[in-house]
Amino acid sequence: MKAAKTRCPEHLKNRVEWVVADIYELEKLNKTFDMVYCRFVLHHIHKPRLALTEISQVLKPDGIFIGIEGIINYAYSYPEQTAWPQLNFPIEVAEGENRNGNIGKMLPNLINQTHMKCIDASIYQPILIDPDVRQLLLQNECIDNKEYLISDCHMGEIEWQKKYDGLKACIDDKSILIGFYAANFTASRKVK
């Protein structure tokens, strides 16, 4: 949230309402929104279908939902055999327990099961070319996270500085192409 607020253009700051809430309890906000932006969240939660239903309930009529999820199915590919025998869980538990990293590819279908209609779905691969955008990577990966990385003992000050210096050298070298893994982009509109 801090990073989003910092990067919001000055002329929009008084028009944007920043809200942090439990994705399963959005109705408790007693608010509706013109747009909900959900980036790299759904593959972390156990009930993505319920989360999408909650999102659709807080959207105004014709409101827009933007969902972005990485193509990370390789991260869920191993081990080939499960450690526990398959149990007959209710679907809401099973969909979380049996995550396969393909939630982005499933989004259009899941969205259409709520009160939203998918209006665009595409796959994109971000490549950082513009120097200002490349600097955002350094801001996101090192500067904004420094306190968290060091205070939670993920790394010490020396390790953080090495990470920062290495990433800065990479960003400053124009001959290096910086790209992220591909992601699924989905745009939806709430059905009246």
pLDDT at 70: 80
Question: pTM (2 decimals)?
Answer: 0.68
* Phi and psi torsions of 46, nearest 5°: -85, -20
pLDDT at 78: 45
pLDDT at 45: 84
- Residue 110: which residues within 8 A CB-CB, separation 6 or more? 48, 49, 52, 103
- Residue 121: which residues within 8 A CB-CB, separation 6 or more? 107, 108, 184, 185, 186, 187
> Distance between CA 168 and CA 109 in Å, rounded?
40
pLDDT at 190: 96
pLDDT at 89: 53
Average pLDDT by stretches of 10, the chain with 192 residues? 81 88 89 90 85 94 93 54 51 51 82 94 86 85 80 82 91 88 89 86
pLDDT at 127: 86
pLDDT at 172: 93
